Structure 1
């Protein structure tokens, strides 16, 4: 009987995860296409093919759904493991050469920012006229600021940082931001590769305090 209960529980957990993924995918599509205010829990439920009560049971509110959607978009999946504790980040930390470490980190950041920029843009625009969502977005930013300390530690390597840890974390908070990526790739028309190359140089010179090899 214990084996049967374990199997049933695992199946229910898998079904619940799949339902969450469907809701998150529907919310992403609708928020980006129609905006936050125009997207209701009802339309999200309809898009996901679930009951409205299922959405509320899984996320509680539209604001919380937005928060969890941003988190899932940053990581690229519904695994709650922070980015700084994943294999890609460990590969950055394990790289002994600072130039290559900056390149790996920039590539990882570019991948994340391209995923998150569209939904972050929607959330920030909506938060400007929605105080409750604005408060939710501040919790997201606070979590990002906390994670930047871990990012700075991962980048430091054997030679250390070129800045004090708190300043290094603040610098990464700016460099990694979707807003900066938007300004360069949308406003200036930079390609993702050009943005990544620039980001790697900023990390190398501004955070690690190392001279870029392409500088004369």
Structure 2
């Protein structure tokens, strides 16, 4: 069901995706979808959660090996690991994030959730940057990283600009290096 929801929300957006569409694609009844997730809102948020970590295991991103790699080895390797991690997340969630933004325009609960998720992503970015560098990062550097690592930059480069994900990942690593170097000045 989560795969069907991810596909529907990412391809069609919030408004054009119905629970019946998801049930049909998943090969289950609408009642099964509601019984499993409660609401369309809860289903979208569950799909985003799974997209961030890449599977349905109840292990937070902060406790996964790919996150731990941000604190292991030379700084250049750490930055490459961060770019891989963020690229993978953005590849899985950019369409879901756009569906969430669309829904936030008419659903106050989702508008609040979008704000909450972005605040959390900013703090996760701070934590990751401090793991990469072994020191605190200032707010200007943090905000540059937060914006650069967001799904909008991924979407613009890969979906609008037509660049391969590998180009985005390489660009992201290079940009993170520049931002962190600037933060040392």
TM-score (norm 1): 0.74
Q: Where in structure 1 are there 5+ consecutive unaligned residues?
A: 1-22, 212-216
Q: Say which one has the larger Rg.
A: 1
Q: Distance in 1 between matches of 2:85 and 2:110?
A: 28
Deviation at 1:72, TM superposition (A): 0.7
Count of aligned pairs between the two proteins: 184
Deviation at 1:179, TM superposition (A): 0.2
Match of 1:70 in 2: 48
Answer yes or no: is the 8 Å Cα contact 2:4–2:26 preserved in 1: yes
Q: Distance in 1 between matches of 2:165 and 2:142?
A: 23
Q: Distance in 1 between matches of 2:181 and 2:33?
A: 44
After TM superposition, where is structure 1 displaced by more than 4 Å over at least 4 residues in a row? 208-211
Summarize deviations over 1:79-132 as a string: whole Å, max 9, x none: 23222321012122111x222221221122112111111221222233234434
1:59–1:208: structure 2 CA closer, same or farther, 3 Å change rule? farther
Deviation at 1:181, TM superposition (A): 1.3
Q: Distance in 2 between matches of 1:133 and 1:89?
A: 27
CA RMSD of aligned residues (A): 2.4
Secondary structure in structure 1 of the residue aligned to 2:171:
helix
Answer yes or no: is the 8 Å Cα contact 2:11–2:95 preserved in 1: no
1:206–1:134: structure 2 CA closer, same or farther, 3 Å change rule? same
Match of 1:172 in 2: 145
TM-score (norm 2): 0.84
- Which is worse superposed, 147-156 or 70-79? 147-156
Q: Where in structure 2 are there 5+ consecutive unaligned residues?
A: none
